[in-house]
Every structure is written in structure tokens, then in C-alpha cells.
Structure 1
Amino acid sequence: MAQDSNLIFSRIDDRLIHGQVMTAWLHAYGNVTHVLIVDDDVSTDPFMVQMFSLLVPPKISIEILSVADALAKFKAGLDKPTMLLVKTPATIARLVEGGVEIDTLNIGGMGKTADRTKFFQNISASSEEREILKKLLQEGMHIEIQIVPAQKCVDVSSLLA
């Protein structure tokens, strides 16, 4: 599968849609009209689906899919300029293994958990997540950390060297 020209921005943020952060990215990518959240758990939780649906601006459509359903959607082709949001590097890896091409990946939020340690400033990652990121880099993906568009971009390859 070649990269879908309608895949405008791909981001890992464990909060998924986060008020001012989402507004800033939608403004930075003014042509985005659709948000695609890919998460197996969220996609089956009616409350979370409704909550996230209320958080996007009125002119932006939103879809919340499992990885399997997202792979089918990518195979069929995205019909609108789309922002892809996932919670973890593992979800990105599953999409890539399924044939989705992502040239550039933005990391915006990966909070500390029991198995995650500090990776960069307030971004944390487990050893498994670091390995996934290394593999994605080796496969040619550009990965950067940038919480909001106004901040300086940090190349993840320099952090994993």
C-alpha cells in the first residue's frame, strides 16, 4: 500500500484528543477535515467514542476504529485529509505491518506508567516501545517529538542512538 495522500499527520498521544493541543495541530494543518483515532479499546467503548466525538471542532469529522477496521479503511483509501491519532507505538507498528505507509510520525504525549521510564522531558517509553521506535526508524520512518507546533522538533533517532 502506498502512502495515502490524504494521510496528512500521524501522532502518538496517549490522551488522543487533548483540547488546546488538538486545536493547535488542526490549525497547523489547516487542510485536515477528518480525525481518525485508531485504538482497539476506545473503539468498543460507546462512552469514550461519544466523548471524543464531542471534542473535535464542528467542521471536523471523527472516526474511532479498531486496528483491523482502520487497516480496511486505509486499504479502501482515505476520502478526506486526515489526522491519525493513536495511543502507543505498538498501534503504529501494527498499522505499518498491515501495509499502512507513514513517512513521518509525531510523538506528543506518552505519560509515565509502571513500565515506562523517562525518554525525553515529559515523554516516557517502555523498553518495548523504544524497540518498536528503533525498528520503525530502521524501516525509514522519520519520528519526531513535538508537543505543540510552536515547539522545536526533536528527532527521535538522536535519542535512541
Structure 2
Amino acid sequence: MKITVARIDDRYIHGQVLTKWIKLLPAERIIVVSDEVAEDPMRKTLVLSVAPSNVKANAVTPEKMGRVFKNPKYADTTAMLLFGNPAEIVEAIESGVDITTVNVGGMRFDPRKKQVTEAVSVAPEDVKAFEKLNEMGVKLELRQLPGDSSQDFIKILKQKI
């Protein structure tokens, strides 16, 4: 499988993905990699229903993503991977998915999280997962839109936490 972008955005498939990311980095599939979405039939249906008609959309757990990624049947498939949080990326990598760069797009605020940027808020477990990704050698870039300049997310995170 060829990954066009691995992106954290807890809104998953939405306007920016549909109008900007998929056009700049075309993919045959959009794969939402999330335990919560994959295991909730109603949420899965809602999230996947907004995918463009010319792109196949799936929702799988991080562990299943590892199996799919290694399956020779999908060797030439291009895919955009969408995650809700960094822990799911750690799990996907540990399951065999080859992710070298992660686009940190959006993690919404809630009272137990600390706001790091206008669009990214993190809980303590998110910080630990980002640190682990950094230790694994994964480049973490902050970019809302593909045309925005890439910023070093781990550097920003360390300054704010």
C-alpha cells in the first residue's frame, strides 16, 4: 500500500479533506483508522457516508490496518489514512504500517486537554504518544491545509507543554 498522507484529524472526512487534501494528494481509498469508528456501526456509517463517490472509504482498527497494509493484494493501492489521535498511529505502526510522516491537522479542545495551537489540543496520553512517535523517528508536521507551510509539531508541543 502506498500512503499519500497519514493525518490526525478527529473530524475525519470533512470539507478540508474533500476539497484540498484528496485533490493535492490523490488516493484510491480514504481509510479511517480508529477503534471507536470501526467498532460503532452507526458512527462508521455516518463518517464514511461523506466520502467522495469516486474514492473508496473504509474504517478499520489500527491492528487491522497493519494486516491490510501487509496484504499483497493492496500493494499498489494508494490510500489516505485518517486518525483521531496519535496513540492509534503508534498502534498502527506497531502492527506493521510503514508511516514515516504524520500530518497533525486537528484535535479538538475539551476541558481535560491543553490547547497547543488554534486547532490542536492534547491530553497527557496524546503527549506521550507524540513523544513515542518522535522517538520512533516519525516526522510530525503541523499543517491545516496542504498549501500551508509545514511546521515542526514536536518542537511546538515541547514549547507549549
TM-score (norm 2): 0.88
Query: Where in structure 2 are there 5+ consecutive unaligned residues?
Result: none
Structure 2 partner of 1:100: 97
For structure 1, the residue ranges without an aligned partner over 5 or more in a row are none
- Per-residue CA distance 1:94-150 (angstroms, 9 max, x = gap): 111222221110011101123210112221111221121122112211111111112
* Change in CA separation of 1:128 and 1:42 when aligned onto 2, cut-off 3 Å: same
Counterpart of 1:56 in structure 2 is 51
- Number of aligned residue pairs: 156
Question: Do residues 38 (structure 1) and 38 (structure 2) align?
Answer: no
Structure 2 residue 110 is matched with structure 1 residue 113: yes
CA contact (8 A) 1:134 1:160 kept: no
2:131 maps to which residue? Answer: 134
2:81 corresponding residue in structure 1: 84
Structure 2 equivalent of residue 156 of structure 1: 153
Q: Deviations over 1:18-75 (max 9, x none)?
A: 1244321001103x11011111121122222222232111110011112232221112
Q: Give the alignment's TM-score, normalised by structure 1.
A: 0.88
Residue aligned with 2:70, SS: helix
Moved >3 Å (runs of 4+): none
1:12 matched to 2:12: no
**Distance (Å, rounded) in 2 between the aligned partners of 1:160 and 1:41:** 25
